Amino acid sequence: MSKTAILEYDGKKYEFPVIVGSENEPAIDINKLRDLTGAITLDPGYKNSGSCESKITFLDGEEGILRYRGYAIEDLAAKADFLEVAYLVIFGELPTKEVLAQFETDIRKYTLVNEEMKNIIDGFPKTAHPMGVLSSLTSALTAFNPKVVNVDNEKEMYEAVCKTMGKFLVIATWTYRKMMGYPLNYYDNTKGYVENFMRLMFELPTGPYAKNQVVIDALDKLFILHADHEQNCSTSTVRIVGSSHAGLFASISAGVSALWGPLHGGANQAVLEMLEDIQKDGGDADKYLAKAKDKEDPFRLMGFGHRVYKNFDPRAKIIKKAADEVLATLGVNDPILQIAKKLEESALVDEYFVSRKLYPNVDFYSGIIYRALGIPTEMFTVMFAIGRLPGWIAQWKEMRVNKEPIGRPRQIYTGYPLRDFVAMDKR
């Protein structure tokens, strides 16, 4: 029996259909609301508004559940590798060994970035933040790959996916090489995707990158944990930019900019800077918890809280365990890990955080691992972008293949009513 919602407004009753998702989440379909009632809804930050139906990711914020295409994040992080999960997120099924091998081979067809892109990166000062450079370079890829993707042609769409996966990784590492004044490296098609990331980042002309499987495995897991997260800020940005039929590179470039913000992906860099400040200030976790609770103090506990998770972020649990393992394996004893754990321990029994259901999110521990792997703080959000790329691609593809309408929210105007123009000499 299909459910409906009854709205009583201005002396009349209106009935709206209720859509129920495959995990029994209900949504009131207000497609006809304004036509029927003359009213719109108002929901700043879209806390209660769904923008689409999607088959890619399911998360339950109350239960702390996250699944890509129905598979639990815990299983994927423990048993799959990043390209395997990227394929799953984008195309909907776990690939066979042969399909995965072909996917990696097809990505390798596009790992050479046009040399003229180097002229663009040379225009940036070394002090430019890597996320700003990455957003610009991603948009610039359109200039060298101008062909508009026919999203209804599976072959063309598949090639666009492989091209984006191949080129984005290379230009992402170029942002670091530019910052360090190092020459720009090339992808090595005889090596794996995540191993290439480390080579592209750290291999110098003076000698080969010494492969460390512990580091590669840790990064692979981190990229999996970041691969998608339904309609978060940057993914919604990719969708709405793509809804105007702007290209995939242009849409992802906008997603990179949205992710940069410290309330979103930029939080992983902000967490590390916060932990370093606390360490410099004597390591007093309780002092900073008090600052986070003080409404007069703009300080927030970065890496804590989430729009959807009102329970533990399942990714934070996995990353926290991985942080212990990776630092122990690498023999790294980083005091800020202890500060992070003390902050978490104190916050989880503090009424302010408990009553607001504020738990560690994906960004709280990830930076501690990145730092142990030798990734500089300024590159942490670029790491997030590399992990989130498959999700951005998958969501853009789903939106375009489903022929969703251009995104164009309404508003409630609260400015001046009509008024007469005032001549310059009368103002």
CB burial of 148-172 (b: ≥16 within 10 Å; e: otherwise) equals ebebeeeeebebbbbbbbbbbbbbb
Stretch that binds ligand SDX, among 153-161, 239-247, 295-303, 409-417 (CB under 6 A): 295-303
Question: Angle at Cα 91 formed by Cα 261 and Cα 110, nearest 5°?
Answer: 75
From the CB of residue 255, how many other CB atoms can be counted at a distance below 10 Å?
31
300 near ligand SDX, rule: CB under 6 A? yes
> Could you tell me the two tokens for 220?
């692979």
Catalytically annotated residue among 129, 226, 264, 306: 306
Catalytic (active site) residue 350: no
Q: By CB under 6 A, name the one of 363, 369, 371, 382 that touches ligand SDX.
A: 363
Residue span 248-287 as binding mask against ligand SDX, x where in contact by CB under 6 A, dash where not: ---------------xxx-x--------------------
301 near ligand SDX, rule: CB under 6 A? yes
From the CB of residue 43, how many other CB atoms can be counted at a distance below 10 Å?
10
Using CA atoms of 308, 312, 316, 321 in order, give the dihedral in degrees to the nearest 10: -170
108 near ligand SDX, rule: CB under 6 A? no
Residue pair 134/124 in contact by the 8 Å Cβ criterion: no
Nearer to ligand SDX, 199 or 388 (CB): 388
Residue pair 255/237 in contact by the 8 Å Cβ criterion: yes
Q: By CB under 6 A, name the one of 111, 136, 232, 253 that touches ligand SDX.
A: 232
**Please, what is the minimum distance in Å from the beta carbon of residue 62 to ligand SDX?**
14
Residue pair 222/228 in contact by the 8 Å Cβ criterion: no
Catalytic (active site) residue 363: yes
Catalytically annotated residue among 81, 220, 228, 363: 363
Nearer to ligand SDX, 7 or 308 (CB): 308
* CA distance linking residue 76 with residue 225, whole number of Å: 9
Q: By CB under 6 A, name the one of 306, 320, 371, 397 that touches ligand SDX.
A: 306
Nearer to ligand SDX, 177 or 388 (CB): 388
Q: Enumerate binding residues for ligand SDX (CB under 6 A).
A: 45, 229, 232, 263-265, 267, 292, 300-308, 356, 358, 361-363
Q: Kindly list the catalytic residues.
A: 306, 363
